[in-house]
Amino acid sequence: MPVPIIAANWKMTTTISEAKALAGSIRSRLEKFKGVQILVFPPFPAIESVLSILSESRIAIGAQNMYFSDRGPYTGEVSPEMIAELCKYVILGHSERRLLLNESDQEIALKIQAASKYKIKPILCVGETFQQKESNQAQQVIERQLYTGTEYLENPIDLMVAYEPIWAIGTGVAATPEEAQLNMEYLRACLEKKYGIESGRKIPLLYGGSVTKENVSKFLYQKDIDGTLIGQASVDPDSFIYIVTQAAKLV
């Protein structure tokens, strides 16, 4: 298995001082896990402090969002250029932004394009609602989100895609590993269709949605799951360390 990717989305769940404490606590305990790629996504105001706490460590930092324009009068937004000065990864199209902040497929496509321009590696999130799953539309929805999100991305070299069923996020009800695999195999086929078999096969696919220390290995065992994007279980240092330990055992 290639190096598993364990990505921690801290969302808006920590203050700056809590983020610093969390970074300090995982840093010392994660140093030994050479076989796992660990990414953490702190809230914007904590990025710089977390960066300095994790400097010279193997843990990479990313942003949870960014705007698509280079610069200009966009009060409150954060530009790709600013992100690029700080870190190398960004989560784009998270369902919380799509649903709560009305982010459109078109905006997400522009953000993916901007990330590529500034050499920031995006994690494009896709996933269906419960109603869409119940009416057998999951694959149609994730295919649309994938193709529109990558509309302007010619070279997918730095792209990662996270399959995060909306009904599984923060609910404690994860998809079954088999169900996730089925939809992620479909995403893989869509990527291979768009970018060619060789490039499509290399794009890391992450599962997200109620990943815990108990279920993480079952996801990572699946053929088309290269890693996980974790919310709640990533802000508890003990559970996050345990998750990384489980991932390291698979290498």
Exposure string of 61-93, with b = 16+ CB inside 10 Å and e = fewer, is: bbbbbbbbeeeeeeeeebbbebbbebbbbbbbb
What is the smallest separation between the CB atom of 71 and ligand PGA, expressed in angstroms?
A: 28
Determine which residue in the list 9, 132, 183, 246 makes contact with ligand PGA, applying CB under 6 A: 9
Determine which residue in the list 43, 127, 165, 231 makes contact with ligand PGA, applying CB under 6 A: 231
What is the smallest separation between the CB atom of 110 and ligand PGA, expressed in angstroms?
A: 22
Q: Which is nearer to ligand PGA, 23 or 126 (CB)?
A: 126
Q: Does 4 bind ligand PGA (CB under 6 A)?
A: no
Cα gap 78→76, rounded to integer Å? 7
Q: Does 217 bind ligand PGA (CB under 6 A)?
A: no
Phi-psi region of 8 (alpha: psi -120 to 50; beta: other; left: phi over 0): beta
Q: Which has the closest alpha carbon to 30: 54, 50, 13, 14? A: 54
x-marked contacts with ligand PGA along 133-162 as a string, rule CB under 6 A: ------------------------------
What is the smallest separation between the CB atom of 94 and ligand PGA, expressed in angstroms?
A: 6
Q: Which has the closest alpha carbon to 63: 55, 72, 81, 15? A: 81
Determine which residue in the list 49, 57, 232, 245 makes contact with ligand PGA, applying CB under 6 A: 232
Q: Does 230 bind ligand PGA (CB under 6 A)?
A: yes
Q: Which is nearer to ligand PGA, 232 or 245 (CB)?
A: 232
Cβ-contact 63, 40 below 8 angstroms: no
Cα gap 44→63, rounded to integer Å? 7
Q: Does 43 bind ligand PGA (CB under 6 A)?
A: no
Q: Does 164 bind ligand PGA (CB under 6 A)?
A: yes
Instruction: Say whether 107 is catalytic.
Output: no
In the block, residue with structure tokens 């590529």: 116
Burial class (CB in 10 A: 0-12, 13-18, 19+), 119: exposed
Scanning 29-37, 116-124, 148-156, 163-171 for contacts with ligand PGA by CB under 6 A, the matching segment is: 163-171
Cα gap 90→93, rounded to integer Å? 10
Q: Which amino acid, 108?
A: I
Q: Does 227 bind ligand PGA (CB under 6 A)?
A: no
Q: Does 169 bind ligand PGA (CB under 6 A)?
A: yes
Give catalytic residue positions: 94, 164
The footprint of ligand PGA (CB under 6 A) covers 9, 164, 169-170, 208-211, 229-233
